[in-house]
Chains A and B, each alone.
Chain A
Amino acid sequence: MADDEEIILSELSDDELVLQMHDDLYDGLKDEIEEGTNILLGRGWTPYDVLTKALVAGMKIVGDDFRDGILFVPEVLLSANAMKSGMFILKPLLAETGAPRMGKMVIGTVKGDIHDIGKNLVAMMMEGAGFEVVDLGINNAVEKYLAALDSEKPDILGMSALLTTTMPYMKVVIDTLKEKGMREDYIVLVGGAPLNEEFGRAIGADAYCRDAAVAVETAKTLVSRKHNQLSA
């Protein structure tokens, strides 16, 4: 912007490089994120530190600006895409080094609802924040959610609905979990244009998430609370 001076990533100090990567994530620069990720790894950073300090912290800025109406969906999708290219490098290394996991989410649009842009956005932002995401797609019946919870063992179940007519189905899923005594095993997050906090409470979800940025922040908070409870 102000200066046309070329920045050479490999000449930056660690602190400066991390800040530059935050900017590059913000601008959705995929190649630069890959380069920065490799430089930090080459300097002996642990994959987990690269993930949390460079990528996740950078996506937090993107998420905050999306939440505050400064960034919009197109920019956020580009940022998430850049984040993904960094994640692609880190993923095998994280598994090798036994780094702590952020958490896992099973997400899908409820039965009757075929609107999936919002859900896709949440999935991308959750991946961008370092979560593992299993996307069940659209029009999911309660059986489909149960099967995925059983096979994937996620921390979080995310449900999305865009139609006022399909929103009540979220309660069907939550009630089924309660009947089977499984409700407390999962964090249940709900979202979708017509929903609100009052609705989330009324159907027994852990939280209603207004947008993808709020979903990520809520997921982080609730997962760490859950982990604390388990270790207490």
Chain B
Amino acid sequence: MATDTLSTLLATRDWLMADGATGTNLFNMGLASGEPPELWNVEQPANIRRLYRGAVEAGSDIFLTNTFGGNAARLKLHNAQGRVRELNRVGAELGREIADTAGRKVVVAGSVGPTGEIFQPMGTMTHALAVEIFHEQAEGLKDGGADVLWVETISAPEEYKAAAEAAAMAGMPWCGTMSFDTAGRTMMGVTSAAMAEMVEALANPPLAFGANCGVGASDLMRTVMGFLATGTHRPIIAKGNAGIPKYHDGHIHYDGTPELMAEYAVLARDAGVRIIGGCCGTMPDHLRAMRDALETRPIGPRPTLDDIAAKLGAFSSASDGTGDDAGPKRERRGRRG
């Protein structure tokens, strides 16, 4: 079993700060779109060290390895499916290097993203194959010295469950977040309440669970409030995007400022979130502002949804599918037995 630094930190601190964007940072360093970022672990290690160091120097307690798409299903699109172990191991080794010279306890979280495939019966992915794919990646991350597996941006419950099983096979602690981007649910229709329920029913539940990416910071906070409303005692993770992408003169900018992300971080902490970070568009400047706010601003009352909308902006949909406002049901005719 890997040394579980995350559990130690969670036991001694009220909140931990995770990192921000991986892709947005790498593209700024010249990664061409379409090129798999994982290849840079081997080809451009200096840039990957710079990515990790950026998060650590900005105050992150946890940072994710550059291995999000490092599973066989995704790497296959670049004919690199034979390099899963190597790319994940090196991604974690570089992380180990940065974490071990940080001068404080920093968690190397081995990023595991979705396979990108749809599960049976709608698609072709099976549970057994997904477990195998995630397990292979997990072993690579473990070889490289990752402290914890960090499963993220998942939409389908089947995929989350497969990742839980793979983590058990690799004998590694894990965390897992889903992406709630469709009227408050994941693309596959999972609500925040349904995720919380699923997590507790797992044979190998994660150290912490939560939400990442999705539609901007306000929607993400609403999802997090949904987790907390279930009364779960498991630590919650919030990793929201720095606003919403805007197109301007041929370039894309996320409209969330460091000030807005600082506001978001404080709201998340006051709501009871234990692990707070950013996702797409979140740069070291955002992280610095978040860390500063988390350390200096006094703890306030648990925010309401109205507080969140007032401080971070309006929600993208009226309801998030939880509670009594779960939306209209269609009038049905008789159904055959």
Contact across chains for A167 and B247 when beta carbons are under 8 A apart: yes
Q: Which residue of the partner chain, among B34, B116, B252, B334, contacts A194 with CB atoms under 8 Å? A: B252
List residues of B whose CB falls within 8 A of some A CB.
23-24, 27, 32-35, 74, 77, 116, 118, 121-123, 155-156, 181-185, 187-189, 245-247, 250-252, 254, 280, 317, 319, 321, 327-330, 332-337
Given contacts A113-B33, A164-B280, contact A69 B321 (CB under 8 A): yes
Q: Please state if B330 and A74 are interface contacts (CB–CB under 8 Å).
A: no
15 contacts between A and B (CB under 8 A): A1-B335, A4-B337, A5-B334, A20-B333, A72-B182, A73-B155, A74-B188, A77-B118, A77-B123, A81-B122, A114-B74, A165-B27, A166-B33, A166-B34, A194-B245
| Interface residue? A102 (CB, 8 A) | no
Q: Whose C-beta in chain B lies nearest to the C-beta of A200?
A: B247
B332 in contact with A72 (CB, 8 Å): no
Chain A residues near B24 (CB-CB < 8 A):
164
Distance (Å) between the CB of B114 and the closest chain A CB? Answer: 9
B131 CB, min distance to chain A CBs, angstroms: 20
Q: How far is the CA of A203 from the CA of B251 in the complex (A)?
A: 12
Q: Which 8 A-B pairs have the closest CB atoms?
A: A72-B189, A112-B34, A69-B183, A112-B33, A77-B122, A164-B252, A165-B33, A199-B247
Interface centre among A27, A32, A77, A193 (most CB of B within 10 A): A193
Q: Is the CB of A26 within 8 A of B330?
A: yes
Residue numbers of A with Cβ under 8 A of B are 1-7, 19-20, 23, 26-27, 32, 61, 65, 68-75, 77-78, 81, 111-117, 120, 138-139, 163-169, 171, 193-194, 198-199, 202-203
Identify the interface centre among B184, B329, B330: most chain A CB within 10 Å of its CB: B330
Beyond the given pairs A111-B34, A164-B280, 7 more chain A to chain B contacts, judged by CB atoms under 8 angstroms and listed by A's residue number, are A1-B332, A19-B333, A70-B329, A72-B189, A73-B122, A120-B118, A168-B252
Q: Do residues A165 and B122 form an inter-chain contact, with CB atoms below 8 A?
A: no
Q: Give the residue name and chain of the B residue nearest to A77 (CB).
A: B122
A113 near B34 with CB under 8 A, answer: yes
Residues of B contacting A169 in the complex (Cβ-Cβ under 8 angstroms): 33
A interface majority secondary structure: loop
From B23, B123, B336, contact of A163 by CB (8 A):
B23
Instruction: Determine if A168 and B250 form an interchain contact, defined as CB atoms under 8 angstroms apart.
Output: yes
Query: Who on chain B is nearest to A71 by CB?
Result: B189
Q: What's the least CB distance linking B249 to chain A, in Å?
A: 9
Partner of A139, one of B34, B74, B187, B327: B34
Complex alpha-carbon distance, A120 and B247, angstroms: 25
- Give the CA-CA distance A24 to B214 in the complex, in Å: 32
Closest residue on chain B to residue A22 by CB atoms: B333
Residue of B24, B182, B329 with most chain A CB atoms under a 10 A cut-off = B182
Smallest beta-carbon distance A138→chain B, Å:
7
Q: What's the nearest-Cβ distance from chain B to residue A225, in Å?
A: 26
Determine the distance from Cα of A218 to Cα of B333 in the docked complex, in whole angstroms.
Answer: 29
B327: chain A residues at CB < 8 Å are 68-70
Complex interface: chain A residues within 8 A of B332 (CB)? 1, 23
Residues of A contacting B23 in the complex (Cβ-Cβ under 8 angstroms): 163, 165
Q: Within 8 Å CB of B333, what residues of A?
A: 19-20, 23
Query: What is the minimal beta-carbon distance from B7 to any residue of chain A, in angstroms?
Result: 34
Bound-complex Cα distance A219 to B314 (A): 30
Bound: A32/B337 CA distance, A: 12
Q: How far apart are the CA atoms of A16 and B181 in the complex, in Å? A: 37
| Distance between Cα atoms of A32 and B336 in the complex (Å) | 10
With A69-B321, A72-B182, A194-B245 as known contacts, state yes or no: A116 contacts B330, CB within 8 Å: no
Given A23-B335, A70-B330, answer yes or no on A117-B33 (Cβ-Cβ < 8 Å): no
